[in-house]
Amino acid sequence: MTHAADTCDGLGESLPAPIVADLPEGVPALRTFYLYLSTGCNLHCRHCWITPTFVNGKPSPGECIDFELLKAAVAEAKPMGLSSVKLTGGEPVLHPEFLKISDFLTAENLRITMETNATLVDQDMARHLRETNFSFIAASLDSPDPGQHDRIRGVKGAFDAAVRGLSALVAAGFKPQIIMSVDRENVHQIEALIELAMSLGAGSVKFNPVVASGRGAEVHRKGQGLSFDELLEMTHRVRGPLQDRYSIYLSAMVPPALLTVRELLRHGGSDGGCCHVRNILGILGTGEMALCGIGRNIPELCFGMLGKDSLRRVWIEHPTLRRMRQDLAGQLPGVCGDCLHAGRCQTHCLAMNYEATGRLVNVSPLCAEAERRGQFPSTRRISCGREHPAA
Amino acid sequence: MAGKTGNFDALTVRFCLRNDVGIEDFGDRSLVLLCDSMRLREINALARKLLVFADGGRTLHEIVLRAAGDCGVPVQEMLHSIAEAMLQMERQGIVRRMVKLATERTEDMGEIKYLVNPDVSFRPEDDDGAILFNADSDSLEVINPTAAEIWSCLAAPCTQAQVVEHLCSVCDGASQGAVEKDVSEFLDSMVKKGFIGMVEKP
Ligand code: SF4
């Protein structure tokens, strides 16, 4: 299961302390694999940004990461710093060896997080996962109204199945995060969804805007996507008055420059929202090594094939990764080059930057729009007021 | 608070204009723009002259000598008012004293005075708090309104007790014990991160 605007938000994504990695100078540790275990999904969400296979209306696991190749990749990556994996998809649970893979990753002492639609999680599976290294699980619910959730997810009964899965996870001792993919159709249901999440025993709720990528492009073409103003309004509402009202942790990510000081303080004073992409490698169901799930849509962001290409060589030498590291270390483009948050934000979501501009290291589309409208906050510019010469 | 000339150990303290400051002169008044915090201050002609006399780093004694010469007034008569004016401009974030800031306590420090690191840019936002940014180390801190009040207070050197006293006077109903704890924790963490320093004796 893959979410719209599936960017890191620090929650459950915080990377472990770097361990000594055997790598040439200037090459960052490879700390996390994003494992897109299967290319298929049992749901047909209208907004999914990486368009998993759903053959003839039937769920299909599509292509799945070969377990033996995965073992070899882990063995190759551990000396480079690998300490955690995120399981996602498609729907990761559809991988025929899902439980074996979970056990293997646990035996390798890797911290495991997962994004799932939860519809295939039963009590036995939830208990099993609880005994392994799973530290964080996020699952999707797009509406408190079962009919509407089913319409958004493209499969009748998806809501009931997701609630069953979530309840199993909670019963096993997890505090799952619920992720709501938000567009104009369900934006008014945010508060009701928070209440549902609390009644289910979730640990947090994250609100992802549907992005104009993959199937989400159609949502935007139909005028159903959130506009810039609506997206900011939703973010400030979630992180302001709604967070004041509800004790459950709420998250809605935009680049940190667009958050108020109060909203930043909510995250313990950190500016959040950074993409740890310098330390992440995606592995797709096909076995391709990629920047992240974006490799499903954009072939040039795939860097090689497990079993054929050396993972170590790809990580150290692939020109796209080298260029990305150089660009991130140098003067950042546009307003990012003058932004107080750039050190941590690193231009926010590189995959979305690429979709929007054809460049990984570029001003996030939201900050670019804020700047175009003259709404980029002056207090977040390094040069704030410096154009006034000192006497 | 360091609002009295009596708080000066000597007249050897050097003052300079803060580097985020811009000045526009209008006849006998000048407007000072504090670029980091986007605030405006108005100063009179004497204060404007003092900024010229400070000339990027003169001692208070040298500033007084020049001002006394300029006005044709004995030095002793001007000393108090000029020291007071410099201190006020320091508190307002227009000038800063040029001191060595330590990040660790040394034997000869006596009662410690704290001062904000002049390289750190202070960006208050509404009443929500502020952002501190040190361009040299590319480090950023987001602080709440209480911490922002402490920060403003430390535009001039203050002891921990002076900061506590100031905070108690502006925060209604806060218990002295709780304020002491908050101030102590904030100072410790900011000193560790190099955002605030301890003033070394000249
Ligand atoms: S301007 Fe760039 S660095 Fe700053 S918050 Fe936006 S995307 Fe991040």
Nearest CA to ligand 1 atom 2: A336
Amino acid at B183: V
Is the Cβ of A271 closer than 8 Å to some Cβ of chain B? yes
Mean pLDDT, all residues of chain B? 85
| Greater model confidence, B136 or A98 | A98
Q: What is the pLDDT of residue A135?
A: 94
Region B58-86 average pLDDT? 89
Mind telling me how many Å the CA of A343 is from chain B's nearest CA? 7
Asked if residues A176 and A150 have their Cβ atoms less than 8 Å apart, the reply is no
Say which residues have a Cβ less than 8 Å from residue A277's Cβ, sequence separation at least 6.
Answer: A291, A292, A324, A346, A350, A351
Say which residues have a Cβ less than 8 Å from residue A339's Cβ, sequence separation at least 6.
Answer: A257, A332, A345, A367, A380, A381, A382
Mind telling me how many Å the CA of A264 is from chain B's nearest CA? 7
Of A8-17, A50-59, B114-123, minimum mean pLDDT range: A8-17
Q: What is the pLDDT of residue B190?
A: 93
Percent of chain A with pLDDT over 90: 68
Mean pLDDT, all residues of chain A? 87
CB contact under 8 A, B142 and A264: yes
pLDDT band (50, 70, 90) for residue B9? low
Tell me which residue has tokens 């640990």: A203
pLDDT band (50, 70, 90) for residue A3? very low
Of A14-28, A195-209, A320-334, B7-21, minimum mean pLDDT range: A14-28
Please give the distance, rounded to the nearest whole angstrom, from the Cα atom of residue A7 to the centre of ligand 1.
14
A32-278 maps to CATH 3.20.20.70: yes
Of A247-256, A269-278, B36-45, minimum mean pLDDT range: A269-278
Residue B4 has pLDDT above 50, yes or no: no
CB contact under 8 A, B126 and A265: no
Token pair in block for residue A213: 């990528």
pTM for the complete prediction?
A: 0.81
Is the Cβ of A262 closer than 8 Å to some Cβ of chain B? yes
β-strands A32-36, A84-88: how paired?
Answer: parallel
Could you give the C-alpha distances from B149 to B7, B103, B170, in angstroms and in order? 21, 21, 9
Nearest to A52 by CA among A39, A67, A64: A39
pLDDT in tens, B124-168: 998 889 999 988 888 899 999 999 999 999 988 899 999 999 999
What architecture is the B9-97 domain classified under in CATH? Alpha-Beta Complex (3.90)
Instruction: Determine the Cα–Cα distance for residues A259 and A292; give it in Å rounded to an integer.
Output: 26
Token pair in block for residue A152: 């958004």
pLDDT band (50, 70, 90) for residue B97? confident
- What residues line ligand 1, using a CB cutoff of 6 Å? A 255-257, 335-336, 339, 341-342, 345, 347-348, 363-364, 367
- Give the best-scoring range by mean pLDDT among A150-154, A175-179, A223-227, B152-156: A175-179
Region A180-195 average pLDDT? 95
Mind telling me how many Å the CA of A83 is from chain B's nearest CA? 26
Could you give the angle at the alpha carbon of A176 between the alpha carbons of A172 and A177, nearest 5°? 175
Please give the distance, rounded to the nearest whole angstrom, from the Cα atom of residue A256 to the centre of ligand 1.
7
Q: Which fold has domain B101-199?
A: Outer Surface Protein A; domain 3 (3.90.930)
**Equal CATH topology for B9-97 and B101-199:** yes
pLDDT in tens, A212-266: 777 777 888 888 899 999 999 999 999 999 999 999 999 998 999 999 999 998 8
Say which residues have a Cβ less than 8 Å from residue A274's Cβ, sequence separation at least 6.
Answer: A8, A10, A256, A344, A345, A346, A348
Each domain of chain B, given as residue ranges in start order, spans: 9-97, 101-199
Region B34-48 average pLDDT? 86
How far apart, in Å, do the first and last CA atoms of chain A sit?
59
Residue A343 has pLDDT above 50, yes or no: yes
Nearest CA to ligand 1 atom 7: A347
Region B73-95 average pLDDT? 88
Taken in order A146, A151, A154, A156, is the CA torsion positive or negative?
positive
Residue A16 has pLDDT above 90, yes or no: no
